[in-house]
Amino acid sequence: MAFGSRVVFDSLSCGFPRGKISVILGGSGSGKSTILRLVGGLVQPRSGVILVEGQDIVGLAERRMYEVRRKLGMMFQGGALLDSLTVFDNLAFPLREHTRLTETEIAAEVQNRLDAVGMSNVGDLLPGQLSGGMLKRAALARAIIRKPSILLCDEPFSGLDPASTKRIERLLVRMNRDSSVTMLVVSHHIPSTMRMADRVLLLLPQGAVEGQPQELRAHADPRVTAFMNEDPDLDAESLEDPDEPPAGKAVRARGGMR
Amino acid sequence: MRRAIEDLGFLALRFADDLGKLALFTLRILAARFTPPLRCGAFVTELFKLGVLSLIIICVSGMAVGMVLGLQGYNTLVRFGAEQSLGAVVGLSLIRELGPVLTALLATGRAGSATAAEIGSMVATEQLDGLRMMSINPVHLVVTPKASAMIAVMPLLSALFIVCGLFGGYAVGVGLMGLDGGTYMSSLQSAVDFHDDVLGSLLKALIFGVLIGLISTYRGYTSAPTSEGVSAATTSTVVIGSVSVLIFDYFITALWGV
Amino acid sequence: MTRSPLRDLLVGLFVLVGLCAIAYLSFSVGGLSYSGPGGLTIYAAFDQTGGLKPRAPVVISGVKVGQVTSIALDPSFRARVAMDLDGRLKLPTDTTASIVTAGILGDRYVSLQLGGDDKVLASGDSITFTESAIILESLIGKFMYGRTGGSTGGENGGSGGDEAQKKGS
């Protein structure tokens, strides 16, 4: 997998179990978000196979990919809500596009998701008027509007204060418990990873390591343990990783145009 | 020396590559135009943003250009004793050339750059990816209405520019220089032929609309997802759009006159 | 952006005003006529059209009554001009069609002089009497050569362009 002349992955092989929360860890530029984008079909690998619920999506025509994405929901790091629409309209948008539900039914669905993320009253606000935590929750609400079976979360905790981080974490965990949604979470927040992950994929320059969080913490390789114990086990790391550019722009340069 | 040739070859190949990509992009826009849903709401919104909001600059510029034409035209014609033909001079200049070309240049600067910036920032904030993940074709939703509106708006703006210009010329020639109003109008009407002049003018405006619509949306769509990329998209839209308009102007004039 | 009725109204007004501008330019300034084809199709054959163009006006007594629709060569290599005229016209069969110039260096157009016959031309008929266009260059040339050749002047006139030379010394 490469962007132009920059190789991001070379023979990466990993799996994410159904119904479980898998967290992808790694330094900036390690390609964590790229994995999500590969699963979402937003970028194409040079070679290889990507199986989404048993279906290989590599080389799939965009129109077919749209069908595959019905099972997927993606929570973008910057929210990626349409900034000219209200939160309500943002959530209602896919329903209005793809379903024949009446406005009342749509309103009910939207309200249901907003309630689920604890944002019952912000339907009329524009994305620009939301705080960081509220934006993430709105993005999450939109990601689950079509009841996906796989949820992709790109840095759901970045830029949040500790309280909001905890709130999002709890939301994700509860969602997984209630509906067995398979979750792929890209993060660099070790403490929440330790708490919520069923499996961890750690991307290091030397290679990738998979396993349960406990296993990685006590790993034989010192580089793995160093990473896992890197961040102090405090709540006060609201600081973003200074190397990670906002919304991971540099990593996404020249990604495949779809 | 060899390096220079290699670079030149690379540039030529890249130019051809870009042209090919633009052609493919155009096909996608066309395909989207004829696929339901028709997105009339978005179309009307774009008509507003590109057309109504450009009215002031178009009308004011049109009137100013007409006034200058009136002044310069009168001062030149009076040397040959031909000041009675001022209406014809102002009218033909505006209708055949200045109307469509200047309107196109103004539109490129105002509407074209706005479109490129808007789409570019949607790319940068992952809104287009967000749409893809919701199985919505971003070209269909965002690009096609903008491009279509640009095409529809150009002939209208061009005509308004010309009419304001004719009025400006009248104001100067009749109001300031003392020509007889009837002479101005009859000289104008006898010199202008619908098929030779007005039709060609509208055709030019339409073609320019196509050019600007394609270039501004393409540049925005393919911009790098950084703020620098958005700014590059905007400036290149204005530069490439303006130059293309002028070059196409020559070819259309040459072919239409046949 | 959410749609607002005000915005839609402005767009509608904009489109309306724009279309009016186009209409003004087309009809009032450009002279596009909104009447359909006149209905009366008449043909006339000329030896020389002198640059007569399609859509040139056809005029009776200075008043436009139709326009030239097409010009083509007929089997005897004369120029066959097709004209679309006002359907209400009643043209006698001995009407003359001449190609004349607006001013000295202006555009060519067709002028009809009515004859006196009782019978009237029907749609699809041809005018028998035609006067070809006067080519200024040939006129000047004949004048010059006429001078050099020792005779005074040469005039070009009448159908077929026969010369009448006056010799005198």
pLDDT surpassing 60 at residue A257: no
Task: Write the CB contacts of A198 (distance below 8 Å, at least 6 apart in sequence).
Answer: A17, A20, A21, A22, A212
pLDDT surpassing 90 at residue B72: yes
Residues B12, B103, single domain; the answer is no
H/E stretch holding A151 reads strand A150-154
Which has the closest alpha carbon to B247: B101, B99, B58? Answer: B101
pLDDT tens-digit series, residues B108-163: 999 999 999 999 999 999 999 999 999 888 998 999 999 999 999 999 999 999 99
pLDDT surpassing 70 at residue A240: no
**CA A143 to centroid of chain Cα atoms:** 9
pLDDT at residue number A232: 44
Chain C residues within an 8 Å CB radius of B52: 7, 10-11, 14
Mutate to test the interface with B, among A39, A44, A66 (most CBs of B within 10 A): A66
Gap between the Cα atoms of B126 and A76, Å rounded: 8
Confirm whether A257 is domain-assigned.
no
Q: Do A69 and B225 touch (CB under 8 A)?
A: no
Confirm whether A138 is domain-assigned.
no
Task: Write the CB contacts of B253 (distance below 8 Å, at least 6 apart in sequence).
Answer: B96, B97, B200, B204
Confirm whether A115 is domain-assigned.
no
Gap between the Cα atoms of A127 and B127, Å rounded: 12
The beta-carbon neighbor of B160 closest among C7, C17, C32 is C17
Please report, for chain C, the start and end positions of each structural domain, with discontinuous segments joined by +: 1-32, 39-131
H/E stretch holding A65 reads helix A62-68
pLDDT at residue number C29: 81
pLDDT at residue number B2: 86
Confirm whether A90 is domain-assigned.
no
pLDDT at residue number B118: 94
- C117 interfacial to chain B (CB closer than 8 Å): no
Confirm whether A212 is domain-assigned.
yes
Per-residue pLDDT averaged across A131-137, rounded?
Answer: 87
Other Cβ atoms closer than 10 A to B161: 31
How many inter-chain contacts (A to B, CB under 8 Å) are there? Answer: 66
Q: Which chains touch B (3 or more CB pairs under 8 A)?
A: A, C
A52: left (phi over 0), alpha (psi -120 to 50) or beta: beta
**CA B42 to centroid of chain Cα atoms:** 20
CATH code of A199's domain: 3.40.50.300
Q: Which residue has the tokens 């004793």?
A: B81
- B63 interfacial to chain C (CB closer than 8 Å): no
Q: How many CA atoms lie within 13 A of B83 on its CB side?
A: 19
Sort strands C126-127 and C39-46 into parallel, antiparallel or unpaired.
Answer: parallel
Gap between the Cα atoms of B134 and A94, Å rounded: 6
Residues B97, B170, single domain; the answer is yes
Percent above pLDDT 90 for chain B:
63
Which has the closest alpha carbon to A229: A206, A202, A199? Answer: A202
pLDDT at residue number C158: 41
pLDDT band at A113 (very low <50, low <70, confident <90, very high): confident
Gap between the Cα atoms of B42 and B121, Å rounded: 18
pLDDT at residue number C152: 47
pLDDT surpassing 80 at residue A248: no
Please give the residue that has the higher pLDDT: either B87 or C118: B87
pLDDT tens-digit series, residues A47-105: 788 888 878 888 888 888 888 888 899 999 888 899 888 999 999 999 888 888 888 98
pLDDT at residue number C137: 82
Domain housing A192: 2-80+149-252
User: What is the tally of structural domains in chain A?
Assistant: 1
Chain A residues within an 8 Å CB radius of C2: 85-86, 89
Give φ, ψ of A86 to 5 degrees.
Answer: -70, 170
Among A172-181, A202-211, B179-188, where is mean pLDDT lowest?
A202-211
Gap between the Cα atoms of A32 and A243, Å rounded: 14
pLDDT at residue number B60: 96
Residues B213, B241, single domain; the answer is yes
pLDDT surpassing 60 at residue A256: no
Domain housing B214: 41-256
- A89 interfacial to chain C (CB closer than 8 Å): yes
Radius of gyration of chain B measured on its C-alpha atoms: 21
Tokens of B196: 């030779």
Residues B104, B8, single domain; the answer is no
Which alpha helices (H) appear in A69-221, and where do they start and end? 87-98, 103-116, 132-143, 162-179, 190-196, 213-217
Which has the closest alpha carbon to B245: B219, B199, B206, B194? Answer: B206
Confirm whether A137 is domain-assigned.
no
Gap between the Cα atoms of B166 and C70, Å rounded: 33
Whether pTM > 0.90 for this model: the answer is: no
Among B90-104, B202-216, C47-61, where is mean pLDDT lowest?
C47-61
Q: Residue ranges of chain C with pLDDT lower than 50?
A: 1, 150-169
Per-residue pLDDT averaged across B185-204, rounded?
Answer: 88
- A111 interfacial to chain C (CB closer than 8 Å): no
Gap between the Cα atoms of B170 and B176, Å rounded: 9
Gap between the Cα atoms of A197 and A172, Å rounded: 11
- C24 interfacial to chain B (CB closer than 8 Å): yes
Reply yes or no: is the peptide bond before residue B155 cis, omega within 30 of 0: no
Per residue, the 3-state secondary structure of chain C, as one string, reads: CCCCHHHHHHHHHHHHHHHHHHHHHHHHHCCCCCCCCCEEEEEEEECCCCCCCCCCEEEECCEEEEEEEEEEECCCCCEEEEEEEECCCCCECCCEEEEEECCCCCCEEEEEECCCCCCECCCCCEECEEECCCCHHHHHHHHHHHHHCCCEEEEECCCCCCEEEECCC
pLDDT at residue number C53: 83
Gap between the Cα atoms of B24 and C57, Å rounded: 47
Residues B93, B7, single domain; the answer is no
Residues pairing with A21 in the sheet: A183
User: What is the tally of structural domains in chain B?
Assistant: 2
